[in-house]
Amino acid sequence: MNSLQLALHYKSYKVFTILLSKVTYAQMNTYLGTYELLEQVLVSGVDKQLAEIVKLYQEMKIRIVLASLSHEAQESLYEGSWNQETIKALYPYVKSFLIPKGQKKAKMYAPVCYNRFLNEPGEHIKRHGAKAEAECITAGLNVCGFTVKGPLIDWLFKGLLQHV
């Protein structure tokens, strides 16, 4: 086990950051090929380390391809709890939104809105099943932990803004 791995293992973030600053570009490419640093840090679930590693990859212009990570690392990424700094750093590389799960301040809200177009002139098709569709979507969002606001029915733009 080398010094970077030891710092990661013992969660010594300051030591880890100092050691990273001493590594040359050539050494880092070899190191990343051998140890898959991004994958290790994702599995560890430690925000501070992940933000440092993403910053390092960006500074060294090393391509980040999250799709090539192991199933365990991808699961940790999309199911883990990340702070805003980490989410911001990873945003350009992810395939879906990262939600800061497990944080007391974070709440997931979902407005549900639909139009039936019952009184509109012929330009819109009437949506008789809109209510059932909204109920199904609302139930799914509730199961996923969202606080659902609505539904807002037959809305206009001004009403939508007030609702949101």
Report yes or no on 37 lying in a domain.
yes
If asked whether residues 53 and 12 sit together in one domain, one would say: yes
Which of 62, 93, 124 delimits the end of a domain? 93
Range of the domain at 17: 3-93
If asked whether residues 79 and 124 sit together in one domain, one would say: no
pLDDT digits (tens, 9 = 90+) for 13-47: 778 778 877 877 777 767 766 677 788 888 887 77
If asked whether residues 86 and 144 sit together in one domain, one would say: no
pLDDT digits (tens, 9 = 90+) for 37-88: 788 888 887 777 788 788 877 877 777 888 888 889 888 888 777 887 888 8
Which of 58, 93, 128 delimits the end of a domain? 93
If asked whether residues 115 and 40 sit together in one domain, one would say: no
Report yes or no on 16 lying in a domain.
yes
Q: What is the reported pLDDT for 120?
A: 64
If asked whether residues 11 and 70 sit together in one domain, one would say: yes
- What residue ranges in 16-160 does DSSP mark as E strands? 109-114, 147-153
pLDDT digits (tens, 9 = 90+) for 83-102: 878 888 888 888 777 766 55
State which H helix or E strand residue 31 sits in. helix 25-35
If asked whether residues 13 and 52 sit together in one domain, one would say: yes
Q: Which of 91, 31, 40, 101 is nearest to 70 (CA)?
A: 40
If asked whether residues 59 and 140 sit together in one domain, one would say: no
Q: Which of 51, 31, 50 is nearest to 42 (CA)?
A: 50
Query: Residue 89 class from Cβ within 10 Å (0-12 exposed, 13-18 middle, 19+ buried)?
Result: buried
Report yes or no on 98 lying in a domain.
no
Count structural domains, the chain: 2
